[in-house]
Chain A
Amino acid sequence: MLVKGLFTVERASELLASGAVAVVAGTEELLGRLPPGNWIGGTMRYFMTPECSCESTDRVLVTELPVDPADIAIRSYDAHELARVVTDAPDNGFSVVVMPAGSPAHLEYAARAPYYPGLFRTPIVGWISGVSLGDLGAVAPYTFDGRTGHREAERATVLHASLPEGRTAQVSITNLFRGGPGDIITFRDEGLTVTDCRVNGKLRNFARYLVKTAVDTRLPLVADYAGAQVNTSFQSVDPAAGIVNLYAPVFRGIEYRIAAPVSDYARAFREAVGESHSDAAFACNCILNYVYGALEGEPIGHVTGPMTFGEIAYQLLNQTLVCLSIVDA
């Protein structure tokens, strides 16, 4: 039985010292106390479990992966090396990526990952590590390489796992949001910082458009990727400077709409998730869903993982539940 859930450092240490392959989320102090082993980690203190969503500074969230220690490789990549995550990935397997929020690796992956050759034929999931919401800008997020205990503030830490013949990895997402009935918004420039956009084809300053139309920026931009709804969340809007900062990049040639409101996030997640992801090998969700959806104390379905500063399902996503499943090929 694979271990998955919130544990004290002592209990997590027992598991990791036994050689289990795992992804671990917790505070920097707790992660720093874990023993060497076949794990990677990232700083995060917000979690989802089948019992409830919660914040914890005295337990770590452990997701034991269903792979043999002999079939993994743990590697670190700086921003310039990140395309190698794809080429280093096993032909049949998956990769879990953890990057510190705001790091060069995070920014590079956000902007460039969809252009990496082979990205979408390589099952890649992961998350952006973060800090307490009260410590934003004051405390650095980290990732951890469990084999050495080394922590990284600038680089991505990646666990590549090879699967045996007959087993395969599937990546899926659950997104509560759908594009609303409003304007169609497109962008000429790609990236996490936006100035101008086109609204129904007409050139506008995006920040001033958002203010003038009183957009609720807790709702993400939503793009329809051939049936998959992909979010881009707002970080800040500065109408005076005419700048909008985003948590994931917008891309040229994609049509976006402001999402329709979701009245009850917890209930919507429970209805969408149910027990369908209870056997997920790995899952993560978004801190913005945790905050905007007032999920603290709320169960959102049979799924366990960190509430992160960005989710990765091939590319960087926002306000989305990401799941990795290992199934028969």
Chain B
Amino acid sequence: MNVDEAPAPANQATVGRAPSPRPSVALGLAVRRARTGRYTLAQLSQRSGVSAGLLSLIERGRGNPSINTLGSIAEALGVSLPELVADAIDASGGQDSLVATLRSAPGDVIKGWAAPEAMDGDSALSARVSRPGLRTSMVLQGGQEARVRVLDGTLELTLHDRTAEFGAGSSEERSLAVDLSLRTATGDAALEIPPVEDPRWLDFARGTIAFEPTSLACQMLFTHVVRCVRDDPSSPNVERWVRELRGFFVKYESVSATELSQIFG
């Protein structure tokens, strides 16, 4: 099943330009302004009881927080909810986004032209984005789950076979769904995770980029990577750890906006 900017049945694919999310972006900016210089995302998460991932999404205008969640955030920031919202009303900015959603029922096969390549134990496929829209090259079968992102005009697909994890599993586990968010190059949301060949990964792995991780996992990983790369700067070892770093940020992209901006600007 290929998709190319064409409307499609709800259970297969949809592509289109999303409404401008100005209210959510303004709210995110308001939260970020109130937090910056006072708390890291992790600290605000601990104070508010809201996950760092959701906070990151909210700050980037991509979350959809409940009133209760916003109230918790406001309280943790030491402001009232009306104050936070009032600040958001004054905020400016926005982002255009293209949203593509592709879904397939169990048993469906989506065929394309890319070949799998090994990446951290998962299967990976590459596909090209020809223009604002979507053309996929995924080869997926029922029982696989794909996570997708846009990388400088290239789709990176990480395939993960969930059927083997917990036995037969439920029908829901075997279902297949791919959600694509194609974002235009405006605002914070434009920052994508570069491929392992990007030389900034090497600088990062060597510890030459000022970096302040916001989660325990990232603190531990970063420390081990830097010491291991310094201990053995051979190309295979460096590449192994760069892949480890990148794999971390691919999985936790939604909670890593702060870290990624430190590394890649």
A120 to B50, alpha carbons, bound, how many Å?
21
| CB contact between B166 and one of A162, A314, A328 (< 8 Å): that residue | A162
Q: A121-B251, A227-B219, A314-B216 are in contact. Are A114 and B224 (CB under 8 A)?
A: yes
- Most chain A beta carbons < 10 A, residue from B170, B217, B248: B217
Does A253 touch B at the CB level, under 8 Å?
A: yes
Say whether B220 contacts A315, CB under 8 Å: yes
Q: How many chain A residues have a CB neighbour from B under 8 Å?
A: 40
Chain A proximity of B75: nearest CB distance (Å): 14
- Complex Cα spacing A127 to B258, Å: 31
A118 part of interface (Cβ distance < 8 Å) = yes
Contact of A90 among B50, B54, B165, B247 (CB under 8 A): B165
A252 near B227 (CB under 8 angstroms)? yes
Given A73-B165, A121-B251, A162-B166: A228 in contact with B54 (beta carbons within 8 A): no
Known: A118-B244, A329-B53. Contact between A225 and B220, CB under 8 A? yes
Query: B95: shortest Cβ distance to chain A, in Å?
Result: 21
For the complex, what is the distance from the CA of A279 to the CA of B231, rounded to whole Å?
A: 40
CB-nearest residue of chain A to B230: A253
Q: What number of residue pairs across chains A and B have CB atoms under 8 A from each other?
A: 104
B-contact bits for A296-329, CB 8 A (1 contact / 0 none): 0000000000000000011100000000000111
Residue B20 interfacial (CB < 8 Å): no
Cβ of B153 within 8 Å of any chain A Cβ, yes or no, is no
Output the residue of A162, A253, A254 with the most chain B CB within 10 A.
A253
A71 CB within 8 Å of chain B:
yes
Q: Does A209 contact B (CB under 8 A)?
A: no
Q: Are B230 and A225 in contact (CB under 8 A)?
A: no
* Cβ-defined contact, B162 with A228, below 8 A: no
In the complex with contacts A91-B160, A227-B212, A114-B220 CB distance below 8 A: yes
Decide: A254 and B223 in contact? CB cutoff 8 A. Answer: yes
CA distance A315 to B220 in the complex (A): 9
- Provide the bound-state CA to CA distance between A34 and B252, in Å: 38
Most buried by B among A70, A91, A120, A171: A120
Q: Is B7 an interface residue (CB 8 A)?
A: no
A119 vs B251: C-alpha distance when bound (angstroms):
12
- Which residues 150-199 of A sit at the B interface, judged by CB distance below 8 A? 162, 168, 170-173
Apart from the given pairs A91-B160, A251-B224, A314-B216, 5 other A-B contacts in the complex at a CB distance below 8 Å = A123-B217, A170-B45, A170-B51, A254-B227, A329-B254
Question: Which residues in A have some Cβ–Cβ distance to B below 8 Å?
Answer: 70-73, 87-88, 90-91, 114-115, 117-121, 123, 162, 168, 170-173, 223, 225-228, 230, 251-254, 276, 279, 313-315, 327-329
Which B residues have a C-beta under 8 Å from some C-beta of A? Answer: 45-46, 49-54, 69, 120-121, 145, 160, 162, 165-167, 170, 211-213, 215-224, 226-228, 230-231, 244, 247-248, 251-252, 254
